């Protein structure tokens, strides 16, 4: 081996050839390593977004499912002067304004003066939007009258002494008895609970049914 090395270094031509071969080998090895590193980096870069996308999608799908399960779904039939009449799903917290938005908003001909935007809607209700100068259909008038009647009723669980005295046949003494019962027993669960108060018989309670309402929280 020493003899071969000595012969290479003693001959200028062999020495030059040796350096050329060594340089070529080094170049080939270097180029090979470069392409290997580039290929590895590309593979890692292309795989990273896939992992991120997969992990990000899962919570989003779960949240959507949870919302659907928790919210009771009801339907209202929207007719008249809206841009997209039809059936729309809604939750208990939504009002007429929200339903109109779902139906694409009002048309230019809609009569806003006849619409109570703040009113709540109920399941299976027909929400009719009239145009200017149009009389409300009979079914729409019945719904409107029902809403107005409910608004005028006195709430037994929240009414003040003065509000209770506006009821027919209820003076200051009976109004105070209602408040005393409410403070001692909590909210009225039914209108018939009035019978538990002294002075409120069957006829009195029956007469008050058209003028009072209750809400239970």
Q: Report the half-sphere exposure of 198 (CA within 13 A, side-chain side).
A: 4
On average, the pLDDT of the chain sits at: 76
pLDDT for 160-170, tens place per residue? Answer: 998 998 888 88
Backbone angles phi, psi at 23, to 5 degrees: -65, -40
Categorize the per-residue pLDDT at 18 as very low, low, confident or very high, splitting at 50, 70 and 90. low
Range 193-213 average pLDDT: 90
What CATH architecture is 74-152? Roll (3.10)
- Go through 38-50 and write b for each residue having 16 or more CB atoms within 10 A of its CB, e for each that does not: eeeeeeeeeeeee
Range 81-94 average pLDDT: 92
pLDDT for 54-67, tens place per residue? Answer: 444 443 433 333 33
Q: What percent of the chain has pLDDT over 90?
A: 32
pLDDT for 139-197, tens place per residue? Answer: 555 555 555 455 578 999 999 998 998 888 888 889 999 999 999 999 999 999 999 99
Quick one: fold of 154-213?
DNA polymerase; domain 1 (1.10.150)
Position of tokens 């027909």?
126
Q: Which DSSP category does 60 fall into?
A: H
Among 170, 93, 171, 79, smallest CA distance to 130 is for 79
Query: Where do the CATH 1.10.150.310 domains begin and end in the chain?
Result: 154-213
Query: Where do the CATH 3.10.560 domains begin and end in the chain?
Result: 74-152
3-state secondary structure at position 98: helix
Residue 49: per-residue pLDDT: 47
């Amino acid at each position: 081996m020493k003899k071969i090395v000595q012969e290479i270094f003693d001959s200028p031509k062999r020495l030059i050839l040796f350096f050329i071969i060594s340089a070529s080998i080094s170049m080939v090895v270097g180029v090979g390593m470069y392409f290997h590193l580039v290929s590895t980096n590309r593979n890692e870069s292309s795989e990273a977004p896939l992992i991120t996308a997969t992990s990000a999608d899962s919570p989003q799908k779960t949240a959507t499912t949870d919302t659907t399960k928790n919210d009771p779904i009801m339907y209202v039939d929207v007719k008249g002067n809206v841009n997209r009449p039809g059936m729309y799903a809604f939750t208990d917290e939504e009002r007429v304004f929200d339903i109109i938005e779902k139906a694409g908003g009002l048309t230019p001909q809609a009569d806003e003066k006849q619409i109570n935007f703040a009113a709540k809607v109920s399941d299976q209700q027909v929400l009719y939007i009239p145009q200017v100068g149009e009389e409300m259909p009979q079914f729409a008038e019945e719904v409107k009258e029902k809403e107005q009647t409910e608004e005028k009723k006195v709430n037994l669980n929240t009414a003040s002494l003065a509000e209770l005295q506006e009821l027919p046949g209820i003076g200051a003494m009976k109004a105070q008895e209602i408040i005393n019962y409410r403070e001692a027993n909590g909210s009225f669960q039914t209108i018939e609970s009035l019978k538990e108060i002294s002075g409120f018989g069957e006829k009195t309670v029956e007469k008050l049914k058209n003028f009072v309402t209750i809400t239970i929280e």
